[in-house]
Chains A and B, each alone.
Chain A
Amino acid sequence: MNPHRRHPFIRVATILVYFFLYAPILVLVLYSFNASRTNILFAGFIPSFGALQMGGSTVVQSPCGPFHWFCELSRNREVGLAARNTLTIAFISTFISTIIGTMAALAIQRYNFRLKSFSQLSLYVPIVIPEIVMGIGILTLFSQLFGILNGAFGLEGDSRLSLGLGTVIVSHIAFSVPFVTLVVQARLQGFDKSFEEAAMDLGANELITFWRVTFPMILPGVLSGALLAFTLSLDDFVITFFTTGPGATTLPIYVYGLLRRIITPQVNALSTVWIAIVLTVVFLLQRLQSREAK
């Protein structure tokens, strides 16, 4: 008997996994072209002639045709703002948490210090702790801190410290750092210190050795860490929910708000655009990384 013959179970399992992973996404994308406003049944695509006409809960005609909900979306200024906030937060928190996480990984790998095992363990705490607990914790911390600071410096009105973009960014950095550290650590595991010794032996000081040898060699790990931090930040709802303030609404928060009112296919359109962007970014980074690895 051919030992490599596939067991039928494997085939079934594969199909099921792909079905549950991708069917929701496909449905979601399909419904963003829905002619029905209520989003419960798929009422067909919207034809593209003439002015906007709505018959009951169905869109009969639209200048944008099947892309009606995308056009609606592009006219929605709140979405634009939320998208901008989301990206700002993601970029800044990724940048900072990647730097901190990489440095932490290097320190834990290289040096023996007194709290080494403690700091290694403390990395796992934010990962295993329920997000909602962390969110409440951060919120409590910020409000206490801001209360004290506002009182101490007599800050009034607009100059009062309050929740907003800044607090969201700080909290995102806080939960991303452990992930970046662990990913970079995995990369450092097999890192032979003789590469650095060779560079120093050939006349490079510590700084040049880091930039010319260490960093290029761990770059794939750093990029994976950054990618993880970026997607975590883009996705995050729970912690953002607690630490956001007026004017700092992110896309997940905004979508949640929409859902509480009415579910129009606009939400689907937004999700479709979002998925497309994230997939493109991931794909590009993967390409970059595999070229780097060569």
Chain B
Amino acid sequence: MTQTSEFAVELRDVVKTFKTPEGTLLNAVDHVNMQIKHGEFFSMLGSSGCGKTTSLRMMAGFEWPTEGDVYIEGNAQGHTPPFQRPVNTVFQSYALFQHMTIYQNIAFGLEMERAPADEVKTRVGRLLDMVQLNGMERRYPKQLSGGQQQRVALARALVKMPNVLLLDEPLGALDLKLRKEMQLELKAIQQKVGITFVYVTHDQEEALTMSDRIAVMSKGKVMQVGIPVEIYERPQSRFVADFIGESNFFEGIVQSVEQDRATVLVPSLKAEVTGLNTGQVGVGQKAIISIRPEKIRISEQPALKTNFFNGTVKTTTYIGSDTHVYVDMGGGVTLKVWEQNKISSLDPRAYYVQGQKVCLNLFPENTLILAES
């Protein structure tokens, strides 16, 4: 693999416009810039219809950008057909050739390269080893389970040793347990072969556990790119904070800014909240406050000198590892608080009961002040 460019794949200002059946134009991908580094496990995460598949298909060459261009290893792809691009795809539906055996399926790509027969044999054998499908090579795809078919699809694409492997929700059809197993296995294989993976998923947990970096997408646009911790701990917008995990939001006006902190007057709480000014919001501007339910400290007496708020427990939901407490703050505001269960097994009572007066402590370093989007 020669590294002629800093990036394995790059999208430069890519737009893809589709004509909808209703006759209107839709930007499925809307001025997207994306830089995917060599050997990286890069995920595109977003809800249904946000343009993930379309972006991936443009990298593979099944669709051509309406504007902008896809660069692979620094080369503009233009209208290069898929069979001339150094990338391979694992399809969500696997798309295994039903009339060919597993061996023939995996060997297909090498055959197209006119690789010598003995080389095909050793390379296919190595891949069969890697995906643990030895002894199955004579079977037809229909004679395998979903998980096994998934492995064949992976092996078939990997056997060509592409610069980049594109995966479109490859685990979407598997049940939860198998999915978790395959997540670990995929990640292990990626690290072993060192190939750049571009991975499309709408499952945030999957993206967080597997990826080196994640691009969160919405309505054809990239909302944020970053390592998993960044995406979760430092969302740059209300959308990302809301889409990844859960969060409580307030709106308000910034009253004062002091170093990396800002204080916001929140009308719905009739109080001021101080937090990390990650959105670099200026005094007098509108801001969104975001705090994750597990970062709120619930107590009977205030644990902080400031930034604590009183409320009444509305409901509690026991879900095993956590208890979800919903606290009525007055003025129609309800906050979600996830409290980890450290209850002694001898006294398995919930800590907080309905109607109980509690105090919610918002640590400023966990309270994010975001710019209004």
> Which A residues lie at the B interface, using CB under 8 A?
192, 194-195, 197-205, 208, 212-213, 216-217
Contacts and interface: CB of A to CB of B under 8 A. Distances in A.
B113 interface: yes
Contact of A197 (B82, B97, B109): B82
Contacts, number: 60
A212 B89 CA distance: 18
A199 B160 CA distance: 13
Given A194-B91, A208-B112, A201 B83 contact: yes
Given A195-B97, A213-B97, A217-B99, A202 B91 contact: no
A195 B108 CA distance: 13
A197 B94 CA distance: 11
Contact of A216 (B61, B62, B99, B156): B99
23 contacts: A192-B95, A194-B93, A194-B95, A195-B95, A197-B89, A197-B91, A198-B97, A199-B97, A200-B62, A200-B81, A200-B83, A201-B88, A201-B89, A202-B88, A202-B156, A202-B160, A203-B112, A203-B160, A204-B112, A205-B81, A208-B112, A213-B97, A217-B97
A226 to B, nearest CB: 18
Nearest to A203: B112
B207 interface: no
B37 to A, nearest CB: 22
Interface in B43-72: 60-62
A101 to B, nearest CB: 21
Interface of B: 60-62, 81-83, 87-89, 91, 93, 95-99, 108-109, 112-113, 156-157, 160
Contacts of B88: 201-202
Centre residue among B62, B95, B98, B160 by max chain A CB count within 10 A: B95
Nearest to B97: A213
Contacts of B156: 198, 202
Given A192-B95, A203-B109, A217-B99, A198 B89 contact: yes
A229 B82 CA distance: 37
B80 to A, nearest CB: 12
Given A217-B98, A217-B99, A199 B108 contact: yes
Centre residue among A192, A194, A203 by max chain B CB count within 10 A: A203
A203 B113 CA distance: 7
Nearest to B156: A202
Nearest to B57: A197
Contacts of B83: 200-205
Given A197-B60, A198-B95, A205-B81, 17 more contacts: A192-B95, A197-B82, A197-B89, A198-B91, A198-B96, A199-B97, A200-B81, A200-B83, A201-B60, A201-B83, A202-B83, A202-B88, A202-B108, A203-B113, A204-B83, A204-B112, A205-B83
A201 B165 CA distance: 11
Contacts of B87: 201
A203 B89 CA distance: 11
B287 to A, nearest CB: 46
Top-8 shortest CB links A-B: A203-B112, A202-B109, A198-B95, A194-B95, A200-B82, A216-B99, A201-B89, A203-B83
